[in-house]
Amino acid sequence: MQWICAYHGESDVWSYFELDDEEWALRHVDVQGLQRRPVTAASLAEVVEIRDGGDLSAMAAYERQFGVLAEGTLHGWQEADGAAEITRQEFESTWAAARETLDADRT
């Protein structure tokens, strides 16, 4: 497993990814702006579980709350400007904070 982040200056978004061995996103976090406001904190396992249940309204609700998981492989991320490998701990703390915020936003 690998953990990476990348900055997208035009949208002022930091993206964090947990990747499998084939560089597909297992979990994905986006935080935006100076306040690092979470806008995405999506999990492949959760998406697959909802998809396999066949409930389109549940998938739409999930995406409204947690955003859309990155699709496709992130192979070649090393060549992207502003991309770097990070520690698992850095990813986990970013993930936990984003999920807490997005969970609270729902209530």
Q: Are 30 and 40 in contact (CB under 8 A)?
A: yes
CA–CA dist 104, 46 (Å, integer): 18
Per DSSP, the residues of 16-44 read EEEE-TTSBEEEEEEEETTTTEEEEEEEH
42-98 pLDDT tens trace: 999 999 999 898 788 999 999 999 999 998 888 888 877 789 999 999 999 999 999
User: Residue 30, CB half-sphere, CA atoms under 13 Å: how many?
Assistant: 17
Model pTM greater than 0.85?
A: yes
